[in-house]
């Protein structure tokens, strides 16, 4: 009985450390910008990533860098809506920028313009000098200029 208990404890601790290591490994690859390596290993690691924020960020960035804008938009939307207090303003600006870029690529011009303009309005209201302000304004202006055009086929 004692042997069974010890075996079970070992199995559980190994499982927990593997789950934690998946989070750590994906986080490391994201921080290093090793997107080709992440693209290669992520499908097998994704089910073991426990922190949904890491999983969504990986989904969003891989969707961005490997031309899967719809996947990226869904991931970035979830990040911004489900975890609004998990990020500082600069990080939130980066996620908003990436979502806007993907919306433009997907032909969702009005969404890109409106979503980014909404974030810019929040920044101006707080008198926040976001480092990405010009990039965000560019995305918003592009979306506005293309608003009434159909998405390319």
In angstroms, the CA 136 to CA 27 distance is: 25
In angstroms, the CA 115 to CA 132 distance is: 15
> Of 22, 88, 81, 14, nearest to 49 (Cα)?
22
The dihedral over CA atoms of 7, 10, 16, 18, expressed in degrees to the nearest 10, equals: -100
Burial of 130 (0-12, 13-18, 19+ CB in 10 A): buried
In angstroms, the CA 94 to CA 96 distance is: 5
In angstroms, the CA 63 to CA 71 distance is: 6
| Model pLDDT, residue 16 | 42
In angstroms, the CA 93 to CA 88 distance is: 9
What is the pTM (predicted TM-score) of this model? 0.82
Question: Exposed e or buried b for every residue in 76-111, given b needs 16+ CB within 10 A?
Answer: bbbbbeeeeeebeeeebbbbbbbbbbbbbbbbbbeb
Tokens matching residue 12:
């559980």
| Model pLDDT, residue 20 | 57
DSSP state of 152: P
pLDDT (tens place) for every residue of the chain, 153 residues total = 444 333 433 443 444 444 458 999 999 999 999 999 999 999 999 999 999 999 999 999 999 999 999 999 999 999 999 998 887 777 889 999 999 999 999 999 999 999 999 999 988 888 777 788 899 999 999 999 999 998 888
């Amino acid at each position: 009985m004692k042997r069974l208990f010890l075996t079970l404890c070992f199995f559980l601790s190994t499982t927990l450390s593997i789950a934690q290591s998946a989070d750590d490994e994906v986080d490391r690859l994201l921080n290093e910008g090793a997107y080709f390596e992440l693209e290669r290993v992520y499908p097998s690691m994704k089910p073991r990533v426990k922190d949904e924020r890491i999983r969504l960020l990986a989904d969003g960035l891989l969707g961005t860098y490997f031309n899967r804008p719809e996947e990226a938009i869904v991931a970035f939307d979830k990040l911004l809506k489900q975890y609004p207090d998990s990020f500082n303003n600069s990080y939130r600006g980066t996620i908003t920028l990436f979502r806007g870029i993907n919306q433009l690529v997907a032909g969702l011009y009005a969404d890109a313009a409106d979503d980014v303009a909404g974030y810019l309005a929040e920044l101006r209201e707080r008198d926040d000098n976001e480092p990405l302000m010009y990039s965000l304004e560019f995305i918003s202006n592009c979306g506005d200029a293309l608003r009434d055009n159909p998405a390319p086929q």
